[in-house]
Chain A
């Protein structure tokens, strides 16, 4: 029953974002995409830890903010140094994302098999 909350939250976020017409300046698009990646990483990490029954709200929330900030900082530093450092963040988040998705998939398959 409560499992529907994340989806509801996502929809509410989309609606709010759709209605407040703030345009992201072109210069910050890069940082924004990093923030989205960090958020996605936290979401999948949270789902996974919930399924593994070792969810820690403090760890997840702090992870979200610290990861997003660190990634943005890295991207900024990369811009200053003319190195695409934000790629490191994209790479790290991407790997973790796929890792989490794989774990979730495995857990779901296991759960389904145990039930039947």
Chain B
């Protein structure tokens, strides 16, 4: 009699184990009926979507609360400060037109020199992008705050590069004569270029003209501004 209960207990243990496994496994819910299986799938999909909707609604709510908080702050002083910062950032980025004292540097191909020596390689008588690059570099060294090359405002991503027989600045083709405008300390910049690249050009008889200006107006950068890889970060 006693022994039989032991065996019954053992069988009961197995039964309980099987029951638990069957009840707890998600497969136990679907059975092998394709219709009910589809129902379960649909139910799962609906539940997932509802969870997602709830999460999105939470996000909307939190964003709205944030917006309300910002509205309620009504900190006009702070707003003005931020707008000021934004303007400064735009000036630094070259997204606004700027005015101020500066220099106008004009360089052109050496037409007369080439006419005098028609058998020479014309490469020796034209302005190459390296010349413009050097002038721009020297202007920057002298503290130029805004620079244009033939009306193209130079920003951080601006290129000065020859492609074939033309020079590209901000992906725009420019042609001689090259007129470089720069806002900054006129005397410093003139000194810098006169003893730098312009001296080299003058020694090769290129027509070079440097002019000081009290009021230069440089246009804003008008091209595309899309950063695909650089993200805000690091701070």
Contact = CB atoms under 8 A, between A and B. Distances in A.
Interface of A: 2-3, 5-18, 20-30, 32-33, 35-36, 39-40, 42-43, 46-47, 49-50, 53, 55, 57, 60-61, 64
Given A5-B5, A6-B5, A47-B8, A13 B15 contact: yes
B32 A5 contact: no
A39 B24 contact: no
Contacts of B16: 9-17
Secondary structure at the B interface, as helix, strand, loop or mixed, is helix
Given A23-B26, A43-B15, A8 B32 contact: no
Interface of B: 1-22, 24-28, 30-32, 37
Contacts of A3: 5
Contact of B9 (A5, A25, A26, A53): A5
B9 A36 contact: no
Given A9-B12, A33-B22, A39-B15, 17 more contacts: A2-B5, A3-B5, A5-B6, A9-B8, A9-B10, A9-B11, A13-B12, A14-B16, A16-B20, A23-B27, A29-B31, A35-B18, A39-B14, A39-B18, A43-B12, A46-B11, A55-B4
Nearest to B16: A13
A40 B15 contact: yes
Contacts of B3: 55, 57
A28 to B, nearest CB: 8
B153 to A, nearest CB: 65
Contact of B17 (A16, A26, A28, A57): A16
Contacts of B20: 13-18
B12 A29 contact: no
B8 A43 contact: yes
B5 A10 contact: no
A27 to B, nearest CB: 8
B13 A10 contact: yes
B47 to A, nearest CB: 19
